[in-house]
Chain A
Amino acid sequence: MGIPYPDPIRFDHGKADAAVAAIKTVIAKLQSQKGDRWTRGQAMRVNWKGPYALHQFDPELTRMVSGANDLIGQLQSLVTTISSASARVIEDQAAHDRANQQWEEQNAPDPGVVPGL
């Protein structure tokens, strides 16, 4: 019987971190854009009157905002998934490392008689 966890857990933290950073960039842009679109759209509607504004643009503006909210929700959920996985890997890997170290200590070869002592 050998070391209990000979292989590290397969998880590339660098790639996970890069993915999370990219998700957060997109979330930030969606947050910013939905607010800007809403504000600027409302201002534009002060002078823009008629069926196009009422029946086409208004529903589209609402969809833009709600669509951004939906996407932000999904992206945040994905951040949670990846970050949680990353945290669990770190935690478990630390436990594995401790177990391995303990095993190594227990199974270290007897040094025998040390000359000079």
Chain B
Amino acid sequence: MSGDDVVSAIPGELISWSGWASGLNTDLERSARDLNQKLEELNFSHPDPGYLGQVPYLGNDVIRYAYRNDGTDTWVGRVGHAFMRIATRGQPHGVVAADYQDFLNGLVTTDQQDLAGLVGANPVTDAEARAAAAALAEQLKEAQDAGDLNQVQDLVRQLRDHQWDPNFTSTFFQSLGVPQTLAVLRTIAKDDGLLRIYDNALATATNSPDWDPAFNDQMWPQPGSGWQSTSPIEALILKYGVFSDDFLTRAGDSVLFGGRNAWTRAHDPTVDQLVLNALARSPSASLSFLLGHPVDPEIGQPSFGDRLVLLLHLLGQEFPGSPDVARAFGGLLSASGHSPMALTPFVGPSGTEPAIQALLHQLGAQPKGLIPDGARSGIADLISQHIELFVDAPLSKDGSATWQQSVFDLAEQDGNDQVLQDSIRKIEAAALSWSLTHMPSSENPTDNANERAWMEWDRRTGTLFALAGMPLSQVNYDRSKLESDRAFVIDQAIYLALAPGGAWTVPAEDAASWMVDSWMHNGNPLNSSDPGLANKAKDDQVFLNKLADMKAALAAGFLQAHPELVPPGVNRDDFLRRVASGEDTGNAVLSQFQKDLNGASLAFAEQYFFPNK
């Protein structure tokens, strides 16, 4: 280390400065706020202007000064802690603990580069931003108190350049305080542009490392004796922005699980929708919220049931008359699937399973009538995001539907058992995508090492397509919809194969239709030793169509990915039909693939016809 680079300090002196000066700043800030209050009272008493005009709010300058100092003082503390880390680096924990005071009060010498690596940000920039934020908050308070609406709007507009800055926004809103934050909100509520800036800024602030959670608590009174309802205007604070998980959870509990002595059933759909949408903009908050437990004001403790199930009951009467709330609830379910914690183990009512599976499991256990129709698209989206969780879905053991079968049913049929075609397509596309991307890497039939992987793929592919097709019924699903689904699935297969080889779209649709006609007139599609299964297969038109779609789509995807397997000069349409329907092509690789398609078909049939078809 060269002489110019040598730096030294006694860590305790710098750390002690920081704590001491922080107290000075807080004390000065408090006095400055009191001064502003007194100056405001003097101004509002309207002294005769011949003697005294409006006095300036000099407390603002003092607050700015205190915040500016605080930034520097905090930074001095960081430098002190950096010196301390350098002093104790490499020392056993026991030694540091025993000689802590010696380390703290001893002179530490190091080099500037080492120190700078531990200290980080520029103190002046940070301090200036905080000072400016505190001053802006004070100006806003004064304008709000004076009823100067134009000035309030102008000042909020100044937040535009700072709305993504955690330091600025956290200082701004913590200086403003909850009552004034809501007062300003009421002033700007009708200006959507300003509202967007204001909400985004608060959202940024709530995610700041130095955000005080007491603000969240004060803004969203929790269920119990201190609870208060949220007005539609106040709920506009949630219209834009991605807030912290804690802020959102408290907002959700205050709005959706409010009540002083018991959960209230008096809900405002506008407010409910705003809070559900705000939660849905944060996937991590969505999942933890739904699986968590709100405080039950009747017992003053967290409830036994999780929020997912409780919400279905609490909002059950609201959903039919407020489809927007139902859709927002579906959006919340869908968002939870994107949580980074979705696949982490979670201990729930059904034991330990991935968190998102616990959610799906809970959903699948609910009576169909409890699920609002508006939420079904969200459930379909959730299933499609995590379709891999269903590949090993078991068969029913007692004739009743498994939770996996039930949750597909919830997604694909409405309360009147009418099929939701968009949901079906979403889920079938996900099943197809899983199947095409999980085909074993080698299709060589002479390679026995791949046999187990192919058999597993067969079973899983069949299971997924069966779950997707099960909720359909030939009673309420007509031929035109089946053919429309077919075109969609085949398109997806060609798109997902993402390989050269020409367009197989029309041939694949034709092949599927040909197979359905052939099976309906000439026999069953299964090479199964189970005669009951084979006979049922003949009878079920939806089954035949969906099975044909699966076989044609996978065959098209396979040939698209392996164009070398198509003999030159052969009629492509006819060749695809032969591969999909299991006719011999004289090619050993394709024979193996056809065996696998048949295996998938059997798994499809076993899942599909069980329990009630």
B residues near A26, Cβ cutoff 8 Å = 28, 31-32, 35, 59, 62
B48 within 8 A of A: yes
Which one of A16, A29, A56 contacts B47 once the chains associate, using CB atoms below 8 Å?
A16
Stretch at the interface among B6-14, B280-288, B303-311, B514-522: B6-14
Interface of chain A residues 4 through 43 with chain B (CB within 8 A): 9-12, 15-16, 18-19, 21-23, 25-26, 29-30, 33, 36-37, 40-41, 43
Q: Using CB atoms, name the residue of chain A closest to B32.
A: A26
Whether A49 contacts B6 in the complex (CB less than 8 A), given A26-B35, A56-B124, comes out as yes
**A103 at interface by CB-CB < 8 Å:** no
Residues in A with CB closer than 8 Å to B124 are 56, 60
B20 contacts the other chain (Cβ, under 8 Å)? yes
Q: B6, B55, B123 — which one has the most chain A CB atoms within 10 A of its CB?
A: B55
Q: Could you tell me if A9 and B7 are in contact, using CB atoms closer than 8 angstroms?
A: no
- Asked if A50 contacts B6 (CB within 8 A), the reply is yes
A78-B58 in contact given A25-B31, A57-B76, A85-B52 (Cβ < 8 Å): yes
Q: Total interface residues on A, using CB and 8 Å?
A: 45
For residue A30, which residues in chain B have a CB less than 8 angstroms away from its CB?
28, 62
Is A81's beta carbon under 8 Å from chain B? yes
Chain B residues lying within 8 Å of A19, measured Cβ to Cβ, are 35, 38-39, 41-42, 55
Q: Mark A58-82, 1 if CB is under 8 A from B, else 0.
A: 0010001001100100110010011
B17 close to chain A: CB less than 8 A: yes
A41 to chain B, nearest CB (A): 8
Looking at chain B's contact residues, the main secondary structure is helix
* B107 within 8 Å of A (CB atoms): yes
B112 within 8 A of A: yes
Q: Within 8 Å CB of A60, what residues of B?
A: 72, 123-124
Task: Given A10-B46, A11-B47, verify A49-B31 contact (CB < 8 Å).
Answer: no
Q: Are B31 and A88 in contact (CB under 8 A)?
A: no
* Cβ-defined contact, A47 with B10, below 8 A: yes
Q: Are B41 and A18 in contact (CB under 8 A)?
A: yes
Q: Which residues of chain A are near B58, meaning CB under 8 Å? A: 23, 71, 74-75, 78
Determine if B55 and A12 form an interchain contact, defined as CB atoms under 8 angstroms apart.
no
Q: Check: A53 CB closer than 8 A to any chain B CB.
A: yes
Q: Which listed residue, A10, A25, A49, A67, touches B48 by the CB 8 Å rule?
A: A10
Asked if A56 contacts B123 (CB within 8 A), the reply is yes
Chain A residues within an 8 Å CB radius of B9: 47-50, 53
Interface centre among B8, B20, B35 (most CB of A within 10 A): B35
Which residues of B have CB within 8 Å of A116? Answer: none
Chain A residue nearest to B51 (CB atoms) is: A85
Contact A89 B51 (CB under 8 A): yes
C-alpha gap A89/B45 in the complex (Å): 15
Q: Is B453 an interface residue when CB atoms closer than 8 A count as contact?
A: no
Asked if B112 contacts A15 (CB within 8 A), the reply is: no
Q: Is B246 an interface residue (CB 8 A)?
A: no
- List the B side residues contacting A74 at CB < 8 Å: 58, 61
Chain B positions 45-74 with a Cβ under 8 Å from a chain A Cβ:
45-48, 51-52, 55-56, 58-59, 61-62, 65, 68-69, 72
B14 A29 Cβ-Cβ under 8 A: no
- Binding site of A, secondary structure by majority: helix, strand, loop or mixed? helix
- A78–B76 CB distance below 8 A: no
Residues of A within 8 Å of B496, CB to CB, are none
A109 within 8 A of B: no
B148, CB-defined interface residue at 8 Å: no
CA distance A11 to B46 in the complex (A): 7
B79 at the interface (CB under 8 A from A): yes
In whole Å, how far is A61's beta carbon from the nearest beta carbon of chain B?
A: 9
Residues on B with C-beta less than 8 A from A22 are 31, 34-35, 37-39
Give A48 to B77 CA distance when docked, in angstroms.
13
Q: Does B119 reach chain A (CB closer than 8 Å)?
A: yes
Q: Give bound CA distance, A81 to B13, whole Å.
A: 42
The verdict on A88 contacting B13 (CB below 8 Å), with A33-B28, A49-B6, A56-B123 known, is no
Task: Across the interface, name the chain A residue whose C-beta is closest to B76.
Answer: A57
Residues of A within 8 A of B48 (CB): 9-11, 89
CB distance from A35 to the nearest CB of B (A): 11
Report A-chain residues with C-beta under 8 Å of the C-beta of B47: 10-12, 16, 85
Task: Check if B8 sits within 8 Å of A47, measured CB to CB.
Answer: yes
B184 smallest CB distance to A (angstroms) = 25
A-B contact pairs, 21 of them (CB 8 A): A10-B47, A15-B41, A18-B41, A19-B35, A19-B39, A26-B32, A33-B24, A40-B20, A48-B13, A49-B7, A50-B7, A50-B115, A51-B7, A51-B112, A52-B112, A56-B72, A68-B65, A74-B61, A78-B56, A85-B52, A89-B48
User: Can you name 5 extra interface pairs (CB under 8 A) apart from A22-B37, A56-B75?
Assistant: A15-B38, A36-B24, A48-B10, A56-B123, A75-B58
The 8 A-B pairs with the shortest beta carbon distances in the complex, nearest first, are: A50-B7, A85-B52, A12-B45, A48-B9, A22-B38, A22-B35, A19-B38, A85-B51
Q: Which residues of B contact A (CB under 8 A)?
A: 6-10, 13-14, 17, 20-21, 24, 27-28, 31-32, 34-35, 37-39, 41-42, 45-48, 51-52, 55-56, 58-59, 61-62, 65, 68-69, 72, 75-76, 79, 107, 112, 115, 119, 123-124
